[in-house]
Structure 1
Amino acid sequence: MPPFTVRLVSSIADVAPVAWDACANPPGLSESEAEGERFNPFVTHAFLHALEASGSTGGRSGWTPAHVIVEDTARIVAAAPSYLKSHSMGEYVFDHAWADAYARAGGEYYPKLQVAVPFTPATGRRLLTAHDAPEGAREALIAGLREVRRQVEASSIHVTFPTAEDASRLERMGFLVRHGEQFHVLCDGFSNFDDFLAALASRKRKSIKRERRDALGDDVTVEWLTGSAIKPEHWDAFFTFYMDTGSRKWGRPYLTRKFFTLVGADLADRILLVMAKRGGRYIAGAINFIGDDALYGRNWGAIEERPFLHFEVCYYQAIDFARSRGLKRVEAGAQGEHKLARGYRPVVTYSAHEFADARLKRAVADYLKHERSAVARTIAHYESHAPFRRGEGGNVETLGENFDDADL
């Protein structure tokens, strides 16, 4: 094994973009080598730098950058987007109960070391390695994460939304693996939205057509904006929508207005804004990020209440766009069982966890054993009620004609 140097980097600005991206999205990967993500926009240097430079992370956010990089004698060969956390917000893999239980037992759960893309529940590589990285680079990266945890006296390491392959690697290294679920549209076999509708059971097909008509009516139009077509006024309008959603959910919006300017400048061709307009002004919008294999829906907002407009702007327009680009799937973010009735399918997501305290590790391991079984049963239940015609949508064998949103 070649000699490696492991470094902790407190700002991604201290890493050359080309060096980071050679690990985050190595060029020329085959589908199997890419582990389903030939290009993931969220692990790019540009996206992570926009978070830091805009103040969305760092400072008093509770997300303190602590990126771990591995170098051989000449270059960076592996990296992990890592943060020291003083809370458990903005992760979408909830461990509040673990933190509370550990505190009641007299332990200190925070700080913890989080390997993740902040505020982004999208699966992707987390153990970033160059295509031609020497053998042992990933192991050196995991060892580096463990050393950072030890030196800062963090209670634990949490790797959220890794690929299945990264989750398996971490499990072999002693991490506990947790399962969750999301809802994605799998686009294989659908050349356009009509093909997608044709695969649905007739009752669901009629319901979606009605929703789309009611969402737009005679006075709402929808625009797709990407690349140089996205102007500052579009970001201004979208940020208003984003802030409105955050305030109505009694939450604190994480992303600053500056973030959208920065990410829009550096990743314009990887961004899709779906904007709804009525009476000459924008009334709703959704931001999506474009990978080579998937369209990732992220944030949405509206300043006018209109039935089904959320479904149209976030879900149906995303499917339309994904098929126009030949993408394989649409990921609509966390939660949302209501997506099932609209043709989104349940998929397993992963996280990996390691604890310094053996007592906490044993307790969490027992909990996860039961939780994984529960997740498997839930996904099987969702699949048994998928709204596709027999043999469509991934060989679903259940019609699901009598399954309504209320059943969820």
Structure 2
Amino acid sequence: MPIMTLHRLADLEPAAWDALLPDDQPFLRHAFLSALEDSGSVGGRSGWRSAHRLLTDAAGCPLAALPLYVKSHSYGEYVFDWGWADACQRAGIPYYPKLLCAVPFSPVAGARLLGRGEAAAELLDELCAGLEEQGLSGLHVNFTDATADDLLRGRDGWLERLGCQFHWKNRGYRDFQDFLDALASRKRKQLRKEREQVAGQGIAFDWREGHTLSEAEWDFVYACYANTYHVRGQAPYLTRSFFSLLAERMPEAIRVVLALQHARPVAMAFSLLGGDSLYGRYWGCLAEFDRLHFETCFYQGLEYAIGQGLQRFDAGAQGEHKLIRGFEPMITRSWHYLVHPGLRAAVADFLEEERLGIRQYAEQACELLPYRQG
């Protein structure tokens, strides 16, 4: 069956791409990925070159697809392979360019092999067979769902890598106080004190949907987002136009909470809504306020999720400080196909030890959760 490569997702009808998605998660939607491309957040000199692969029937209708990018670095992936690249450089083995199946700048697990399983498997096999000829060191599939895990597990040449994130689960809480009542007394007092400290600074919060924000308000959102990079001496991954394009193309999925001090915005957190989950993505503030990060990024999201009856709040990658706020360790997976046999063998040995360490880390993290025993 015909296989085609898309260097611009805009060349495919949104409905044709979205029909391959298995759920309501927003990050694989045509609107999200095309906004990254059309805003210049990927492409150009970003080091991300779109090369989405589609398998179609004789009539040109997509049967399966992979969101793919040719990478000249490892920034913005959140599955860290810098050590592998450094080892290759020392050994005189080219590591870049490589091929990545992922959502740029989004460490959110979900579908990666889109469409029919057997068709997606055919795409994978075709890609792996052509890597060396195209001068690519390997194919990496980051933050997979159970469907991709089942397809890749035990498949010849593929290496499994584990990671650990922290997600919050809604156990039928009536309100935020009901959630607090589920915590041990000392932890409950800590969370309540942190919220009181923010309120004592005269800060209130306003939840907004994507279509309600003006361009001036989007300017503020972007200034906050970009500032989180500027204070570390880095350039932001996303461009200003990405936010406007996303607000135009999928406003119903956008949730922004503005932190207001005496009616003046001072901070924000940007989230996406999909299915039964809230995904916290970006945050930023333009001045320092005690405990404002915890309130804006975590407690506001928890309270919103409870109020909307959502089952899960994914507040982003890493962050052991989330544990005492009720976020539980969750194992994530990525899969790696490396062309060079020596590199593949070395990485396989490393990953075997790393997987053991990640599982032990997740088990130990559970002991730090704030919930009352029993």
Q: TM-score range by the shorter chain?
A: over 0.9
Alignment root-mean-square deviation, CA: 1.3
Aligned to 1:139: 121
User: Residue 270 of structure 1 aligns with which residue?
Assistant: 253
How far did residue 191 of structure 1 move?
A: 2.9
Is residue 21 from structure 1 mapped to residue 7 from structure 2 by the alignment? no
Q: Is the 8 A contact 1:182 1:349 kept in 2?
A: yes
Determine helix, strand or coil for the equivalent of 2:205: strand
> What residue identity is the alignment partner of 1:164?
A
Instruction: Give me the whole-angstrom Cα distance separating, in 2, the residues matched to 1:44 and 1:228.
Output: 18
CA distance, structure 1, for counterparts of residue 346 and residue 201 of structure 2: 57
CA distance in 2, matches of 1:61, 1:10: 14
Rounded Cα–Cα distance in structure 1 between residues aligned with 2:89 and 2:35: 34
Q: Which amino acid aligns with 2:319?
A: G
**1:40 correspondence with 2:37:** no
Q: Amino acid of the residue matched to residue 66 of structure 2?
A: A
For residues 83-127 of structure 1, what are the alpha-carbon distances to aligned partners after superposition, in whole Å with 9 as ceiling and x for unaligned? 000001000010000011011111000000010000001111000
Name the structure 2 match of 1:5. Answer: 2
Gaps in structure 1 of 5+ consecutive residues: 26-37, 392-408
Residue 84 of structure 2: aligned partner? 98
* Residues 187-336 of structure 1 mapped to structure 2, 5 A cutoff: 187-217=170-200, 219-336=202-319
- The Cα of 1:205 is off from its aligned counterpart by 0.6
Deviation at 1:286, TM superposition (A): 0.7
Confirm or deny: 8 A CA contact 1:216 1:309 kept in the other structure.
no
- The amino acid of 1:136's aligned partner reads E
| TM-superposed deviation, 1:147 | 4.4
**Shift of residue 5, structure 1, vs aligned partner:** 1.6
Secondary structure in 1 aligned to 2:152? helix
Which residue of structure 1 lines up, in the alignment, with residue 94 of structure 2? 108
Cα contact 1:68–1:144 (8 A) shared by 2? no
CA contact (8 A) 2:210 2:256 kept: no
Any conservation in 1 of the 2:121–2:151 contact (CA below 8 Å)? no
User: What is the 5 A alignment of 1:329-344?
Assistant: 329-344=312-327
Counterpart of 1:50 (choices 24, 35, 41) is 35
Structure 2, unaligned runs of 5 or more: none
Superposed, 1:77-88 pairs within 5 Å as 77-88=63-74
Deviation of 1:151 after TM superposition, in Å, equals: 4.0
Alignment partners' CA distance in 1, 2:220 and 2:135: 43
- Give how far 1:232 is off: 1.4
- Alignment length (residue pairs): 372
Residue 139 of structure 2: which of 149, 157, 182 is its match?
157
Give the match for residue 64 of structure 1: 49
Q: Normalization by structure 2: what TM-score? A: 0.97
Render the CA deviation track for 1:186-241: whole Å, top value 9, x for unaligned.
11332321221111111111100110111222511100001422221221111110
Q: Give the aligned partner of residue 111 of structure 2.
A: 125
Amino acid at match of 1:114: L
Aligned-partner residue type, residue 244 of structure 2: T
CA distance in 1, matches of 2:123, 2:62: 11
Contact 2:211 2:247 in 1 (8 A): no
Kindly, what percent of the aligned residue pairs are identical?
43
Q: Distance in 1 between matches of 2:261 and 2:98?
A: 46
Letter of the 1:309 counterpart:
L
Change (3 A) 1:22 1:151: farther
Distance in 2 (alpha carbons) for counterparts of 1:119 and 1:358: 29
User: Secondary structure in 2 aligned to 1:178?
Assistant: strand
Q: How far did residue 66 of structure 1 move?
A: 0.6
3-state SS in 1 of match to 2:164: strand
- State the 1:243 CA deviation: 1.2
Check whether the contact 1:164–1:350 (CA below 8 A) recurs between aligned residues.
no
| Structure 2 counterpart of 1:63, one-letter code | W
Q: 187-196 or 332-341: which moved more?
A: 187-196
* Cα deviation digits, residues 114-169 of structure 1 (max 9, x gap): 1000000111100011xxx4x62121121233245344210011111111331231
The corresponding residue for 1:357 is 340
CA distance in structure 2 between the partners assigned to 1:333 and 1:160 by the alignment? 15
